Every structure is written in structure tokens, then in C-alpha cells.
Amino acid sequence: MIEFKEVSKYFAGKAAVSDLTLHIAKGEFTVLIGTSGCGKSTTLKMINRLIEHDKGAIRFGGEEIRRFDPQALRRRMGYVIQSTGLFPHWTVEKNIATVPKLLGWSKPQIDARVSELLALLNMEETFRHRYPHQLSGGQQQRIGVARALAADPEVLLMDEPFGALDPVTRATLQQEIARIHRLSGKTIVLVTHDIDEALALADRLVLMDGGKVVQQGTPTALLTKPVNDFVRRFFGQSEWGIRLLSLGLAGEAARRDEWLEEEGIAETLTLREALSLFIARGTDRLAVRDSNQQPLGVLHFADLLRQKKP
């Protein structure tokens, strides 16, 4: 759906991004990761032409993006940034309706869409009349996401969207964006420098350094088949095994033909979270329940050693 072919971007003669080749498939959740200054934001902004590329080609649905009118292109791509960019003197409702209004939607259409998005993002209907300063940071960020999704864009671009939030709010919003991705099947490109955020969300990871792609592939591939020492170091040699566990789910690893009479853990818990519970409870077996709280199976401590192959 989005294709970079040998793309470079220079600022004052210095390459911020060089020779970047990337394929972003429709419906895929792609995460651009790397240390500060490696060219992630520049790459993201070249997709919606907030920054124009100097060399190479960027195609959207097969067509060079220079052929699109930049405004029209941006309406097809939701954009979420860390500082939300909400208009302070506009209500939540008016902020969310920014693009639908530009597209000429009717008032009833807009009202219905605002309600739908508030529900999707677990916000009360009454929030629609509030102003941004009457919301917490996490709530503002939810409205930022709602606004980006308002006109049902084909692509959602997110630049460190949860960077300014506390760890608990951040984790909640990560789960919500993962849920929205599952429900909507939208193509999402998210930029972060947070390794655990990247591993929790990505179908496909693109690790950048010095304006270049060092390695791209599934999170499991990057963790288990690093192409060089940079990749190995980036994912932290000492944390490596724990991070691998964060890619597996309790429900997938549990033994289906066993059961234990206990409260049990959710199937959506990662194996990393399960490890923590094994230790905290001093046990080597945990009952796992499905989303309807029904018995699903039993996870054994030893099952943590049987990792999915990339």
C-alpha cells in the first residue's frame, strides 16, 4: 500500500534519511523504531508530505505521492502526534469533526460519527462538550486518535503518540490501539523509541539507525535472527529472553487438555506477564481462561521455553 524505493531526504546537505526501501502492506501494523535522530519522524512525515523527499520514489496505492494534492492526501491519512495538536478553543466534538467538516459531511452524520468514536475509545458521551484543557493527558491523546480516525482514513500515522503519558495510561492506550487495529484492519505506521511498545504492537518492525534501515521483519525475526551486533545491542542482550516472551500469548502456549480449579489468567496475557505471575505466586502452573471466562487450558512454567519460531 505504501512503498519507499531508495528514498533520501537531506537537511542542509546532510542526509536525515538515506536510500530507504520499505514496503508497508495494507492492514499491517508497522513500527519504525530507533534512537533519537535516526530519521523516524522524517520517514513518517514523508508519507503524508509534511516533508517532501529529495530522491527516490514513494508510492501510495501504486501512485507516486507527488501526484496527489497534499491536502487531499492528508485527508486520507490520519496523523497522531505526541502533543495531540488539539485546537484548545474547540470542544472535543469540534476537534474530532475537523476532517469530516472539510469533507462536507452533514451535521447528523458528524454527530453520529463523534458518538461512535467516543464509544470506540472508551470515552463518555458527555466528553464531547469539553475543551482539551478539561481532559487528562490520556484523554486528550484518545481524542487525538479519534480525530485522526474521524473520516475513516485508509492509513493511520502515529509519531510517538504515547510518549508523554505515564506507564499505566500508556499501556492502556497501547491495548486500545491494538484493539482498534484488530477491529478495523487499518494500515498503521507508528514511530517509537520504546522497544517494549514496539514489540507489543508491531506486525512488522523497521529498525533504523543514522537514516538507514538496519533490519526489518517480524518482531520474532529481529529478536531471534539479528543481522548484526547493533540489532543485538539495541534489543538489550540481558533483556533479550524476556522480550522474546513478550511476543507469545498465554492462550497460545497453554495445554488445552488440562484444567486447574482456580481463578485463572486471561488468554491475552503475554508469556512475559505470565512469567511474572509464576514467580509472584510461587507456582509452576497457571489456569488460563478465554475471553468469556471459560476454562481454556493450563500453562506450565516449562511451556515458556517452547518459543514460536519466526
Q: Which residue is nearest to Mg ion (CB)?
A: 41
Question: Which distant-in-sequence residues (6+ apart) come within 8 Å of 45 by Cβ?
Answer: 51, 159
For residue 224, the minimal CB distance to ligand ADP (Å) is 25
Q: Which residues, listed in sequence order, are joined to residue 289 by a DSSP beta bridge?
A: 266, 295
CB of 6 to Mg ion, least distance (A): 22
Convert residues 9-38 into a mask of x (bound to ligand ADP by CB under 6 A) and - (unbound). --x----x-----------------x-xxx
In this complex, which beta carbon is closest to Mg ion, that of residue 45 or of residue 94?
45
Shortest gap between Cβ of 187 and ligand ADP (angstroms)? Answer: 20
Contact between 219 and 270 (Cβ < 8 Å): no
Residue pair 40/34 in contact (Cβ under 8 Å)? The answer is: yes
| Helix/strand/coil (H/E/C) assignment for every residue in 18-58 | EEEEEEECCCCEEEEECCCCCCHHHHHHHHCCCCCCCEEEE
Work out how close the CB of 42 gets to Mg ion at its nearest, in angstroms, rounded to a whole number: 8
Q: Does 40 bind ligand ADP (CB under 6 A)?
A: yes
Cβ closest to Mg ion, residue 41 vs residue 91: 41
- The C-alpha atoms of residue 5 and residue 8 are separated, in whole angstroms, by 9
Burial of 34 from C-beta contacts in 10 A (0-12 / 13-18 / 19+)? buried
Residue 100 binds which of Mg ion, ligand ADP, none (CB < 5-8 A, kind-dependent): none
42 binds, among Mg ion, ligand ADP, none (CB under 5 to 8 A by kind): ligand ADP
Residue nearer to ligand ADP on the CB measure, 154 or 209: 209
- Number of helices (H), then strands (E), belonging to the chain: the values are 13, 13
Q: Where along the sequence are the contacts to ligand ADP (CB under 6 A)?
A: 11, 16, 34, 36-42
